Amino acid sequence: MISRRDFFKIIMGALLMPIIGRLLFTFPRKRVVRPPGAIKEDDFLRACIRCGMCIEACSRDGTGTLEPCGILDGIPLMGTPKVNPLKAPCEARYGRCEGVLPCVKACPTSALKWIEPDRIKLGSVEWNPKRCIAVLHGDCLVCAEVCPVPGAITIRRGLPVFHSNKCIGCGRCVNACPAHPKALKLTPKGERRST
């Protein structure tokens, strides 16, 4: 009924997808800033089915900061959501999404779980003084002006000082920074994931 050639075909077909997936899984991966309410990274990669519902919900009801990870972020992360502050800041706290969280409500597999607004911390901001206009020319404190968190960016002698323990990682300062290569970078350092 089944010849050897057919048997070979069946085995080849059945193993193709898992083998590609296994190969892709061993590639190196980067740490990216996840949307609010994401569970721990390993569990997140297991739970997320890359359906893109959170990205769609963010561009419809939110600010449009979420975008899918690409090849450069590492192949295991492909298709999962990340916060891109260059497009828009995440307004999950002190903004239009506070207490609403459309991305969390859109997630079908509970890879994003509901989180109280005062527990949201997506990461922190890294400051590069070599590019900062306040250091090079002076008279620029746009980051301190747009920051909604009291005490996250303080001013000392005309320069901004970043307190990473108070920063919620919303990315408003990164979005507003007028320096051409941005002097600020949003990193997942110090992020608080929901359990």
Partner 1 sequence: MLLVLLLYILLNSTGLISGNYCSLKVNGLFFICPIGFLQRAAINCSFTTSLIVGILISVVLIMLFGRLFCGWICPIGILMRLLGRTKKVKENIILLMSFTSLSVLLIISWLLRYPVFCLVCPVGIISRLIIWSVSGTINISSVVIGIFMFIIVMVFNVTIIGWCAGVCPLGALQIILSYFKVLRIRVKENCIKCKLCSRVCPLGLRIYEGKNVANMACMTCLKCVFSCPVKALKLRLSFSH
* Interface with partner 1 (CB under 8 A): 1-2, 6, 9-18, 20-22, 24-25, 45-53, 55-57, 59-60, 64, 67-68, 70-72, 75-76, 78-79, 106, 108-110
* Cβ neighbours of residue 10 closer than 8 Å, sequence gap 6 or more: 2
* CB-CB contact of 97 with 170 (8 Å): no
Nearest distance from residue 74's CB to partner 1, in Å? 11
Q: Which of residues 68 and 95 has its CB atom nearest to partner 1 in the complex?
A: 68
Nearest distance from residue 109's CB to partner 1, in Å? 6
Q: Which of residues 67 and 126 has its CB atom nearest to partner 1 in the complex?
A: 67
Nearest distance from residue 163's CB to partner 1, in Å? 33
Nearest distance from residue 70's CB to partner 1, in Å? 3
* CB-CB contact of 115 with 37 (8 Å): yes
Q: Which of residues 49 and 136 has its CB atom nearest to partner 1 in the complex?
A: 49
Nearest distance from residue 172's CB to partner 1, in Å? 21
| Residues 163, 166, 171: CA angle, nearest 5 degrees | 85
| CA atoms lying within 13 Å on the CB side of residue 63 | 24
Nearest distance from residue 83's CB to partner 1, in Å? 14
Q: DSSP 3-state assignment of 70?
A: coil
Q: Which of residues 106 and 132 has its CB atom nearest to partner 1 in the complex?
A: 106
The phi, psi pair for 144, rounded to 5°, reads -70, -30
By CB atoms closer than 10 A (0-12, 13-18, 19+), residue 52 is middle
For residue 186, give the DSSP letter.
E
Q: Give the helix/strand (H/E) hosting 68.
A: strand 66-68
Q: Which of residues 20 and 155 has its CB atom nearest to partner 1 in the complex?
A: 20
Q: Which of residues 105 and 166 has its CB atom nearest to partner 1 in the complex?
A: 105
